[in-house]
Amino acid sequence: MKVALAQLNYIPGDIPFNSAKIISAINSARTKGAELIVFSELAVTGYPPLDLLLRTDIISASMAAIDEIASHCTGIAAIVGGPSPNTGNFGKTLHNSAFFINDGKVRTVISKALLPTYDIFDEDRYFQPGTEFRTVDLNGEKLAVTICEDIWDEQPFGDRGVWRLYGVTPLDEVMKDDPSLIINIAANPFSHSRLRVRDEVFARNAREYGKPLISVNQTGGYTELIFDGSSVLIDADGTVLERLAFCSEEVRIVETPVTGSDRRQYSCPPSYPDDMTGLVHQALVTGIRDFFEKGGLKRAVIGLSGGIDSAVVLALAAEALGPSNTLALLMPSVYSSEHSVTDSEEMARKLGVPYHIVSIEEARQVLEKTVKPFFGDKAPDITEENIQARLRALVLMAFANKLGKMVLNTSNKSEAATGYGTLYGDMIGGLSILGDIYKTEVYRLAREINSQREIIPEAIIAKLPSAELRPDQLDTDSLPPYEILDPILLRYIDLERSARQITEEGFNHDLVEKVIRLVHTSEFKRRQAPPVLRVSSKAFGSGRRIPIIGKYR
């Protein structure tokens, strides 16, 4: 059977756009001889549609789109993801479904049985789990159609090992019909630490049931989520035969079942690299580009400080949006070093990005003079430092408002975790680019950006990190060196280990306690931060829900 894997980039809620894209792929695949075309989970609405699913007009439009899509399925069958009404007598009003369409009609509706509620997922809020397990028939073949989590009933969870999350295994039930092919329609967001896990889960299912497996994932940026595509065809022995493009749309036709001689036609792509920095780079560019394109935005403005974080964000933005759509503002004060300005100018010229130098020194002096009578004899402290950061935010927002641009945030995950950032200052922006990238990872990302040619001047990469808000300031005045801090943060935030567990790994007890205390007391800042592009399995945002006020270790 010739099957087209349709890995597409949708817009949540834009049902006319999504359905037109689906119909175009159906028509194209038919002309190329495909018997079946498979789309991703909730393709009609885009994933995740969130509370749009609570709107009756959205659901009505989605069901009408399914009927329109079905009218184009002549000479080719399709499996399309979308919400479907729950016709039962209880539960949520919707199912997360796969519509099997053939000969111009919806023939079968398969509903997702396993609804994830961990990390960024909250499907139980909207959907009633499916309870019927059956195959669909096409040209004499029986197909086991599953939806994303339905084949993730067992998965690895860090220190907890492989965990069985559900009391039912859908494929155990479907296999009673002896299908020839497992099809999984998915919406798997990118996470550099989960790519291999994903392939392992697919391969394990193929081997366990002795059937080839197809999984079709969506691609593109969806606010903070980035979907990498990477749809696969896996042989019955667990071998990855085909993998579609990373962070790019593609429709590819494969043929199943795969015999020994047929395997020669497949690329059998290599496993993912040990160093995922290159993929993170691609994912961040995708996230920026789609945030702007899907949001009807075109131009960004970035505060370029002469430090590595803003330099990396500028390079990524210029790549995603184009240099002419990316404006850099250099905003020195008396505490800014001369090389911070000259290094920033050099980088802007290398990229061909327009830039302005807007000194905040005069405004700093005026504001400090204005408030000084009210502060009495109190010595200068973080108050005066934060005034500078907030003045820079004011300038950035003025340019954004006047010129129709969006400010991109440049804070990294280490800073966000420890609260090393000024609320309403350097934490402003419509989108956080590096908020899921630890500082030590930012340096690797800078090297990756420079791998083809030097974009970020070496002087920026080599200099010691500093906010330059007071004379001779360094980040290490307030924080441990990042090569020590980041491993502690990774263990506490991403791996969810306790202070005791981290200390037992050889880290200084007092330092671990200090770092964790900083994480706790900064939660209120993160609640007010912009959405963070997610590239790990534990980003700040909807996937990490921690009380602002609480006592815990």
Q: Which of 21, 123, 148, 211 is catalytic?
A: 148
Question: Among candidates 190, 185, 186, which has minimal Cα distance to 224?
Answer: 190
338 in active site? no
Q: Does the pLDDT value for residue 65 go beyond 70?
A: yes
DSSP string, 270-281: PPPPS--HHHHH
Structure confidence at residue 160 (pLDDT): 63
> What's the pLDDT at 516?
96
Residues 365-397: tens digit of each pLDDT:
999 999 999 998 999 899 999 999 999 999 999
d(CA 80, CA 85): 15
Q: What is the pLDDT of residues 117-168, one digit of tens each?
A: 988 999 999 999 999 999 999 999 999 999 999 999 877 666 666 777 788 8
| Beta strands at 431-432 and 406-409: parallel, antiparallel or unpaired | parallel
What percent of the chain is predicted at pLDDT more than 90?
Answer: 86
* Whole-number pLDDT of residue 157: 65
Per the confidence metrics, is the pTM higher than 0.85?
yes
Exposed/middle/buried for 458, CB within 10 Å: 0-12, 13-18, 19+?
Answer: exposed
Q: Which of 41, 149, 384, 385 is catalytic?
A: 41
DSSP 127: B
Residue 553 has pLDDT above 80, yes or no: no
Domains of the chain: 2-272 (3.60.110.10), 279-527 (3.40.50.620)
pLDDT score, position 467: 77
The two three-digit tokens of residue 453, written as one number: 């040619």
Name the nearest CA neighbour of 222 among 163, 289, 274, 272: 289
In this prediction, residue 262 has a pLDDT band, given cuts at 50, 70 and 90, of low
Q: Among residues 112, 211, 405, 413, which one is catalytic?
A: 112
Active site (annotated) includes residue 41:
yes
| 112 a catalytic residue | yes
Could you give the C-alpha distances from 190 to 169, 229, 243, 329, 515, in angstroms and in order?
25, 8, 15, 31, 28
* Cis upstream peptide for 465 (omega within 30°): no
* pLDDT for residue 124: 94
d(CA 375, CA 415): 28
For residue range 505-552, list pLDDT tens digits in order.
Answer: 999 999 999 999 999 999 999 999 999 999 999 999 988 888 888 776
